[in-house]
Amino acid sequence: MARRRPARKIFSWNVNGIRAAAKAGFAEWLAGTRASVVGVQETRARIDQVPEALRAPKGFRANFSSAERGGYSGVALYSRHAPDSLETSLGEPGLDAEGRLQIARFGPLTVVNAYFPNGSGPNRDHSRVPVKLDFYRRLFDRLEPARAAGERIVVMGDFNTAHTDLDLARPKQNHKTSGFLPEEREEFDRWLRCGWIDTFRQGEPGAGHYTWWSQRAGCRARNVGWRIDYVLASPGAYPFVREAQIHSAVYGSDHCPISISVDPELFE
């Protein structure tokens, strides 16, 4: 009987500032992942501001998409091999200027690294909810033909939405909070109804698993958090997924990393 080939890993992490993450040991963490692909969100830096050790870390190719506004948003993709293609636009100038998206092709696999907008505005209102929903819908429409055709797609990142009551510690207190508003949850739910698969929830139906914690004292220690970071797989990709994990013991950000382990054939 042929031996099963070792799994390959895909990671996602909102680092809440790549310069701060660098000081907290991000380079060492990255080297230790042995990952094939790592998507990073909220880099909050132009390429010339990224610490040199993270511009081209040993063993990885790095691609950055920064926001036009300084110290805001931004995503980065680290991969063992250069992607066959890389897109960073949804075709909407306002969204594209915020540096929230990378769509990378690795052979038959499309990896989407996304930092979905927060619905809260500068005055802690819900003024950015329409922008957030526009991003969700435009990305859905961009990917839908490929998903419907059975292509292998993984969408990972900070979705800024807790899907159900299981996905945050205090749902009753947050029904009027952006990130748990009915219209935000419904949009996320629409993705799942249309075939996208929440890889972590498929294997873990229970509560108490979170990826973000307020920086208020004690929240993380008491596990008063939200699960707003996801890896979604298309039906074409999901059969290759072996395991999905939340790495809550990894510090360095107010989010923790998440990952999936996949069959090597996903890339082939």
- For the chain, what is the HEC assignment? CCCCCCCEEEEEEECCCHHHHHHCCHHHHHHHHCCCEEEEECCCCCHHHCCHHHHCCCCCEEEEECCCCCCCCCEEEEECCCCCEEECCCCCHHHHCCCCEEEEEECCEEEEEEECCCCCCCCCCCCCHHHHHHHHHHHHHHHHHHHHCCCEEEEEEECCCCCCHHHECCCHHHCCCCCCCHHHHHHHHHHHHCCCEEHHHHHCCCCCCCCEECCCCCCCCCCCEECCEEEEECCCCHHHEEEEEECCCCCCCCECCEEEEECHHHHC
Reported as a single tens digit per residue, the pLDDT across 210-257 is: 999 999 889 999 999 999 999 999 999 999 999 999 999 999 999 999
Q: What is the mean pLDDT of residues 82-92?
A: 97
The arithmetic mean of pLDDT across residues 86-108, rounded, is 98
pLDDT in tens, 165-189: 999 999 999 999 999 999 999 999 9
Q: What is the pTM of this model?
A: 0.97
pLDDT, tens digit, 9 for 90 and up, residues 111-162: 999 999 999 988 889 999 999 999 999 999 999 999 999 999 999 999 999 9
Choosing from 125, 141, 158, 167, the catalytic residue is 158
Judge whether residue 1 has pLDDT over 70.
no
The verdict on whether 198 is a catalytic residue reads no
Domains of the chain: 8-267 (3.60.10.10)
- pLDDT tens for residues 7-28? 999 999 999 999 999 999 999 9
